[in-house]
Amino acid sequence: MFDLTGMTALVTGASGGIGSSIARSLASQGARLALSGSNGDKLRAFRDQLNEEVGGDHVEITCDLSNPDSVEQLVPAAIDTLGKLDILVNNAGITRDGLMMRMKDEDWDAVMQVNLNSAFRLMRAATRPMMKAKFGRMISITSVVGTTGNPGQMNYAAAKAGLTGMTKSLAQELASRNITVNCVAPGFIRTAMTDVLPDEQKAALNGKIPMGRMGEGEDIGAAVAYLASKEAGYITGQTLHVNGGMVMV
């Protein structure tokens, strides 16, 4: 079940904590990946590691998602390298946190460009080849704060909520073409950034989660692999919340 053998995928932010878990999950199910990120050295190192650990012939494509021209070239480059594109995973994201009254225009614009605008451009670019193939899976990584909001993250929460609305609209446009469009919304996930938090802060965060612990990157990777599979072909326009029960919607 959830066999992705013969399928291809483009994953943005692929060398990051959650992105690398998504990539490993898809690759372990048999998909061939185009790994994208802005740090070429880090991306190549992860590609080599993935090829060694999981097997396959995965490739890397460096792309600066803050540059619209580079974004427009990413899907064509992935198709040229992989031969086709079955799965698009919009995972890359940045934060520029700050209270609204102090938030600068450039902080708002930077988050919107990387977290929302680039996803729009990538999904637009993937639509035509997926329609031609009469198959496709588009999956965007949102966040629990796109549903709840979060003080100091007005720009980030707005971008993630925008991804959800964009997903629902595109899902309706493409459903008849056997293309599904969904989101995965992580809650608190253990990453290198959370590992350095003081124990008291970790305990406070865990206290908000009914399961009593943060999630792992593998939890997000598993959710993405499921939504990418043929078995999830009747699920579209949905957000799969992976948060240990912290927010139940």
185 is in an annotated binding site: no
Apex CA 45: angle with CA 15 and CA 23, to 5°?
A: 35
Contact 118, 93 (CB under 8 A): no
DSSP three-state, residue 24? helix
Question: Cα–Cα distance between 53 and 63 in angstroms, integer?
Answer: 24
156 tagged catalytic: yes
* Residue from 156, 219, 225, 227 carrying the catalytic annotation: 156
Residue 88, both tokens? 């698009």
104 is in an annotated binding site: no
243 is in an annotated binding site: no
Residues 224, 169, 113, 109, Cα dihedral to 10°: -130
Contact 43, 63 (CB under 8 A): no
156 is in an annotated binding site: yes
Question: Cα–Cα distance between 144 and 156 in angstroms, integer?
Answer: 11
189 is in an annotated binding site: yes
Residue 165, both tokens? 């609305």
Q: In what order do the strands lie in the sheet with 239-242?
A: 59-62, 32-37, 8-11, 87-90, 136-141, 179-186, 239-242
- Which DSSP helix (H) or strand (E) runs through 198? none
What are the CA-CA distances from residue 231 to residues 27, 48, 108, 180 (Å)? 17, 30, 38, 12
- Which DSSP helix (H) or strand (E) runs through 11? strand 8-11
Residue 56, both tokens? 């396959």
- Residues labelled as active-site residues: 156
Binding residues for NADP(+): 91, 156-160, 189
Binding residues: 91, 156-160, 189
